[in-house]
Amino acid sequence: MKFTVTSERPGNVKTGCVILGVYEHRTLSPAAAEFDNTTDGLLKKALKDGDMDGISGQTLMLHQPDGAKCERVMLVGCGKTGEFNLRSYQQAARSAALTVNASGADDAVSYLAELEVSERTSYQKVRTLVEEAHSVAYTPDALKSKKDKSLRPIRRLVISVDNADKASARKALADGEAIASGVELARTLGDLPGNICTPSYLADQARELGKSSEKLKVSVMSEAGMEKLGMGSLLSVSRGSRQPAKLITLKYDGGKAGVKPVALVGKGVTFDSGGISIKPGAAMDEMKYDMCGAASVLGTLKACIAMKLPINVVGIIPATENLPDGDASKPGDIVTSMSGQTIEILNTDAEGRLILCDALTYCGKYKPAAVIDIATLTGACVVALGSHAAGLLSNNDELANELLLAGEAADDRAWHMPLWEEYQPQLKSNFADMANIGGREAGTITAACFLSRFTEKYHWAHLDIAGVAWKGGDEKGATGRPVSLLTQFLIDRATG
């Protein structure tokens, strides 16, 4: 899909579809009122006839409007005037993109970036339009032998902005496309089944990404390398699998040499059966999404490359399967992590922390300015926060706040949870330095407590994305979250 900006007025523009906003109680936006004037009151008449009110998310398509040069005009409901905010704007952008794609139009000119939205700049509005247009065009049909021919996304979206905003709008187009390409990569990888998206496949994808930029260096460590470094915890998870584990490192040197990097560590369990502590059968297929943390690291780096972001980033992905086998870890087994700390594996289904702890220790060698791990870590996080916010836990409040703000700005939110000392005793083991589970209470927090024992040497934050990385049910599919949050965080760091 191609994106450009324009300042042509809606009545004059030649296109498959003009997209205009309408507020509740049939209140035309300024651009819609202009269009209405050139078409002799066409819009007011349609609204008066009761075809639409302007409720958030509604759309109305009118064909061959007399007096204008477009083939269609689409009205998009924006809700109550004055209440138009970030989220309702995103909803309007989304409905508009869905409806225009379902029409026969080849291209469209959108006037939605001209709408007044509280606390949103023109740059942000344009980015939302681009990101939503990309997002609705994604279909997880890579493995369908017959593609759905009724899906015909528009090929070109032109976005109207004030002349004064044109430069920032062009930047927003480029950034929006960069982020959308990262989100799309994360979704594509997430949606792939476990028999295709294996640890080796993730490593190949990382190498592919490496080919796209001089600034990205990719290396892949084998199990023998992990053995040498003493990663007994990571290796204990892959014991039960015939697919060898991989530790993938992606080094993006976009910033000045010698400036400390931000490290992103993504959980890459390409299928989580639970291991010997096997999971129940219902929805077990969704455990192919247990590598969405890894996918978000790859997606974020892809966006960094596309934006040529002036920052140093290291991506680290411990990738493995978690399967039951005669050689798999058993409850009660004790392993030694790279840090030297011993761990009693009381539940083999708490495998994410077992692979992350060694990756987090390893990551110390890059002397990171900050480390963020991203993991579909606990079912408890889905219970606590549902599918709206990622869980955020950190050993540094400033870093946590930066991430919260980035999430707000990118509309990819996280919620801060406590990481108090009081929770640590839940990890006590009679036989090892710690257990890998902390009992029934506060499962998301005790999982983070476990990780915190491996991150004392640097500023660290943990994003539990179990609730946000994919949707179940009829709309089952990866969301690409939290690529937007992470990219926004890096943009903010890079630009000070």
Which residues are identified as catalytic?
A: 279, 353
- Of 18 and 377, which CB lies nearer to ligand BES in the complex structure? 377
When asked if residue 373 is in the footprint of Mn ion (CB under 5 A), the reply is no
Residue type, 37: N
- Using Cβ positions, the residue closest to ligand BES within the complex turns out to be 379
The window from 65-73, 226-234, 345-353, 485-493 that contacts ligand BES (CB under 6 A) reads 345-353
Residue from 350, 355, 403, 427 binding ligand BES (CB under 6 A): 350
When asked if residue 321 is in the footprint of ligand BES (CB under 6 A), the reply is no
When asked if residue 321 is in the footprint of Mn ion (CB under 5 A), the reply is no
- Of 211 and 440, which CB lies nearer to ligand BES in the complex structure? 440
When asked if residue 468 is in the footprint of ligand BES (CB under 6 A), the reply is no
Compute the least distance from the CB of residue 238 to Zn ion, in Å. Answer: 13
Which residue is listed with tokens 């890096």? 490
Compute the least distance from the CB of residue 234 to Zn ion, in Å. Answer: 13
- Of 74 and 291, which CB lies nearer to Zn ion in the complex structure? 291
Size of the site for ligand BES (CB under 6 A): 16
Query: Strand 18-23 relative to strand 414-416: parallel, antiparallel, unpaired?
Result: unpaired
- Of 220 and 237, which CB lies nearer to Mn ion in the complex structure? 237
Query: Binding pattern to ligand BES, positions 47-86, x when CB under 6 A?
Result: ----------------------------------------
Compute the least distance from the CB of residue 351 to Mn ion, in Å. Answer: 5
Cα separation, 442 vs 257, in Å, equals 42
Dihedral of alpha carbons 163, 168, 174, 179, sign:
negative
When asked if residue 466 is in the footprint of ligand BES (CB under 6 A), the reply is yes
Residue from 132, 175, 191, 272 binding ligand BES (CB under 6 A): 272
Residue from 36, 71, 321, 349 binding Mn ion (CB under 5 A): 349
Which residue is listed with tokens 């508009």? 96
Compute the least distance from the CB of residue 24 to ligand BES, in Å. Answer: 38
When asked if residue 272 is in the footprint of Mn ion (CB under 5 A), the reply is yes
The window from 96-104, 193-201, 349-357, 442-450 that contacts Mn ion (CB under 5 A) reads 349-357
Q: Are the C-beta atoms of residues 99 and 52 closer than 8 Å to each other?
A: no
Angular region, 275: left φ>0, alpha ψ -120 to 50, beta rest: left
User: Burial of 230 by CB count in 10 Å (0-12 exposed, 13-18 middle, 19+ buried)?
Assistant: middle
Which residue is listed with tokens 């044109």? 166
Residue list 250-309, contact with Zn ion (CB under 5 A): 269, 272, 290
The window from 161-169, 193-201, 342-350, 488-496 that contacts ligand BES (CB under 6 A) reads 342-350
When asked if residue 379 is in the footprint of ligand BES (CB under 6 A), the reply is yes
Compute the least distance from the CB of residue 350 to Zn ion, in Å. Answer: 8
The window from 51-59, 119-127, 162-170, 347-355 that contacts ligand BES (CB under 6 A) reads 347-355
Residue from 55, 334, 382, 405 binding ligand BES (CB under 6 A): 382
Compute the least distance from the CB of residue 293 to ligand BES, in Å. Answer: 10
Which of Mn ion, Zn ion, ligand BES, none interacts with 321 (beta carbon under 5 to 8 A by kind)? Answer: none
- Of 19 and 269, which CB lies nearer to Zn ion in the complex structure? 269
The Cβ of residue 358 has, within 10 Å, a number of other Cβ atoms equal to 26
Name the site residues for ligand BES (rule: CB under 6 A): 272, 290, 347, 349-352, 376-380, 382, 437, 443, 466
Name the site residues for Mn ion (rule: CB under 5 A): 272, 349, 351
